Amino acid sequence: MKEALVKHLKVTRWLHEYSASIQPILGEPIHEMGGVSIDLSKDNPIVQLRPEQHTHDLQNCVSELAQKNKGKFGYGGYAEDRSFYAVSPLFKNADSNRTIHLGIDVWLPAGTPLFSPLAGEIYGSQMNTNPLDYGGTIITKHNLLGIEFFLLFGHLSKDSIESVSIGQMIDPKQKIAELGDTNENGGWPPHLHLQCIIDMQNHKHDYPGLCMTQKSTEFLYNCPDPFIFLQPPS
């Protein structure tokens, strides 16, 4: 655990010291686009999803919360404890109940372009096709001044996966993907799941986006808050 904390502090310190080098993943800072933080945690009484209408209810909930917060679209969810994942055996089964969200969700339409925030390479890319999985997934690897970390882009279009290759070098501001629709993004309302990962722990084309409460400290050390890639400090 101590080693994970040291790595966490090293990466987060580097990101803030060299934040001027980071380009916003959406092409411009999220606040300038009208994005507002929304709460999808288990403590928000508005978040009531019927299993048979999960996608429809979640889209309505996201839209309502963004409008309530006077924004054009919603984002958020890092380290949030969310109960609605219980609809899927992928997250809740006899062995585990994963509810702690390890990334940030950005609720934007299918086809929204995404850009690399830094120089790097394509590390992993595949369609994760289980119901309510990531759907189209791309993982980029970045190594700057000896500091290595990864970014996971989830819920992408199938065309995005077919347009990149493992080991492909990417430049800052280079378009690398587009958001997928419900038929190709795992069955979710269109959105980006963005996750920063320090140690891929033998994963290649995906990495858990949720963890159990009992393991949240360990996983959150390994997955720092990725908000800086959406809103680099000016």
| Continuous segment of H or E residues that includes residue 62 | helix 54-68
Number of domains in the chain: 1
| Angle of CA points 31, 65, 104, to nearest 5° | 55
**In the block, residue with structure tokens 């086809």:** 111
pLDDT at 52: 67
Assigned domain for 74 exists: yes
How far is 67 from 146, CA to CA, in rounded Å? 42
Assigned domain for 109 exists: yes
Q: Write the CA distances from 140 to 70, 98, 103, 160, 211, integer angstroms.
A: 33, 24, 15, 13, 21
How far is 216 from 220, CA to CA, in rounded Å? 6
Assigned domain for 234 exists: no
Assigned domain for 211 exists: yes
Residue 127 pLDDT class (50, 70, 90 cuts) = very high
* pLDDT tens digits along 9-45: 989 999 999 899 999 999 999 999 999 999 999 999 8
CATH code assigned at 83: 2.70.70.10
pLDDT(50) > 80 = no
Q: What's the whole-number mean pLDDT along residues 144-165?
A: 95
* pLDDT tens digits along 93-124: 656 788 999 999 999 999 999 999 999 999 99
What is the domain extent for residue 142? Answer: 2-229
**Mean pLDDT over each residue of the chain, to the nearest integer:** 93
**Assigned token pair, 207:** 């990495």
pLDDT(234) > 80 = no
